[in-house]
Chain A
Amino acid sequence: RKEVEQDPGPFNVPEGATVAFNCTYSNSASQSFFWYRQDCRKEPKLLMSVYSSGNEDGRFTAQLNRASQYISLLIRDSKLSDSATYLCVVNEASGGYQKVTFGTGTKLQVIP
């Protein structure tokens, strides 16, 4: 099983739609979780951290399910500008330091 797994997509959704991505992780001791966004030929940028209690930032909601070892990202009212690749990032403690693992990313295309 891959350490961090995402459906690569692409997810093609119309403007205004709601779309959700999941990301599964294999190490139950993983400690912190993030969603990054990467536009084509650009660097990744933090979208939001994922907290145990879930968190919301405008149209974006992130959830963590430790029992099933997955995190999710929900985007409501999709905009054309949301088109990008969404990277799941999982941190786990390793030798006193954090080991950072990126998923392969899920590509989202919002169509007019």
Chain B
Amino acid sequence: ETGVTQTPRHLVMGMTNKKSLKCEQHLGHNAMYWYKQSAKKPLELMFVYNFKEQTENNSVPSRFSPECPNSSHLFLHLHTLQPEDSALYLCASSQDKRGGDEQFFGPGTRLTVL
């Protein structure tokens, strides 16, 4: 399935590195999301963009910086991460966040911070 794609699929980075995660959706949706999934924890919503505007930031540390240049693309810029930031980062999209619609998830980026 290619509705929501994410790159890279795996990423290993040091604490001083700067990297970016990319998400692209081909579904014509208006809302995009970043989630963090750590072992034994529920999915944590990080950021929400609706019509390219950030509508939610769930107290995410500033070392995570989202960017949404258009409704189809979403980036998560990473810098000076900590080992506890190692997790699966999932991107999702939905037709319109206000509608409580089904979310379609990308395959995720498995991030390891050394």
Q: A34-B102, A96-B98 are in contact. Are A43 and B90 (CB under 8 A)?
A: yes
Of A10-18, A44-52, A61-69, A71-79, the one contacting chain B is A44-52
Q: A43-B90, A43-B107, A44-B105 are in contact. Are A32 and B43 (CB under 8 A)?
A: no
The answer to whether B43 and A44 have CB atoms under 8 Å apart is yes
Q: A97-B55, A97-B56 are in contact. Are A104 and B98 (CB under 8 A)?
A: no
Residues of B within 8 A of A4 (CB): 42
Residues of A within 8 A of B55 (CB): 97
Kindly report which residue of chain B lies nearest to residue A88, judged by CB atoms.
B42
The answer to whether A32 and B42 have CB atoms under 8 Å apart is no
Residues of A within 8 A of B41 (CB): 104
Residue from A31, A87, A102, A105 in contact with B100 in the complex, judged by beta carbons closer than 8 Å = A31
A107 to B107: give the CA distance in the assembly, Å. 19
Residues of A within 8 A of B105 (CB): 43-45
Kindly report which residue of chain A lies nearest to residue B35, judged by CB atoms.
A102
